[in-house]
Amino acid sequence: MVAILLAGWLSRRITAPVTALTEATQAIAQGDTTQLPVTSSDELGRMSEAFNHMTSALETQRELRRRLVNDVSHELNTPLSVIQLEAKGLHDGLQTPEQASDLIIGEVDRLRGLVSDLNSLAETDYGELGLTVEASSVSSLLTAEVERWQPHSRAREVDLSLQISGDLPDMDLDRLRMSQALGNVVSNAIDCSEAGGSVAIRAWQEREEALVISVVDSGIGIDAEDLPHVFDRFYRTDQSRSRGIPGTGLGLAITRAIVEAHGGTATVESGGPGQGVTVVIRLPLANSLEG
């Protein structure tokens, strides 16, 4: 009799965690990510821990998706509202076709930029960035960026300059993607600078370790509490929102993803409001054709 009771107890002790794991697995399909209690350090306990890690990851991804939907909805709402108001004003005769069309075209361009940025982020999220690496002259890449953004800087009366220290090594890069990463930083720096301000692109080799590219502006600066968040998606500081500085808050997130795909790092520094911003990109010399 004792043997039968002991066998039943052992059976329940073994099958109960398995049953709980099975039920929890089925509950995931209904969106329930409740964690399992870990009551032992044996194989079943390790399975429960692995299950809990999985549910935590699923919950994190769910929260990220929820935030993304909310953020995208917010970003879409503003240009759509402007387009609706302009179309209504045109219909009611309150706006001339020229006035309405200019504003509508501007908002459509903003929507197009948002869609492009979202596509870039989706590619990084799913590991589909697909770098096309080739031997590239960093000096010529930077020179091309200055030429590309000179018209925009002149229009805003901001001085844009390039300062290269020494001979920069050629590197294995995806030139198109790196141009995208740099363009996000440079355009943001120009937009955040007042008329009469400056944006300086600087590049140098840091010992035998890295090639460093910095973009230094004399713009509105960033509060200390905002610095940890500048690479977050859709994050825009109060200063940029209040001054009507264009952008979706995705550019720096895309820049960091592209730089990290090249094995590098992207950081930001600022002395505070009114002290400008410095974005620093470091690329390992392991990518150098001389390394």
Q: How confident is the model at residue 19 (pLDDT cuts 50, 70, 90)?
A: low
- Residue 231 domain-assigned? yes
Convert 39-83 into a string of H (helix), E (strand) and C (coil).
Answer: CCCCHHHHHHHHHHHHHHHHHHHHHHHHHHHHHHHHHHHHHHHHH
Residues 23 and 155 placed together within one structural domain of the fold: no
| CB-based contact 184:250 (threshold 8 Å) | no
| Domain closes at, from 39, 61, 83 | 61
- Residue 7 domain-assigned? yes
Give the domain range for residue 49: 2-61
- Residue 127 domain-assigned? no
pTM of the model: 0.67
Of 116, 50, 104, 95, give the one whose Cα is nearest residue 254.
Answer: 116
Question: Can you give the pLDDT at residue 291?
Answer: 40
CA–CA dist 100, 90 (Å, integer): 7
Burial annotation 18-38 (CB, 10 A radius, 16+ → b, else e) = eebbeebeeeeeeeebeebee
CA–CA dist 78, 96 (Å, integer): 21
Q: Is the pLDDT of residue 190 over 80?
A: yes
Q: How many domains does the chain have?
A: 2
CA–CA dist 283, 70 (Å, integer): 34
Q: Which is more confidently placed, 93 or 256?
A: 256
| Domain closes at, from 23, 46, 61 | 61
Among 142-146, 178-182, 235-239, 258-262, the least confident range: 235-239
Q: Kind of pairing, strands 210-217 and 265-269?
A: unpaired
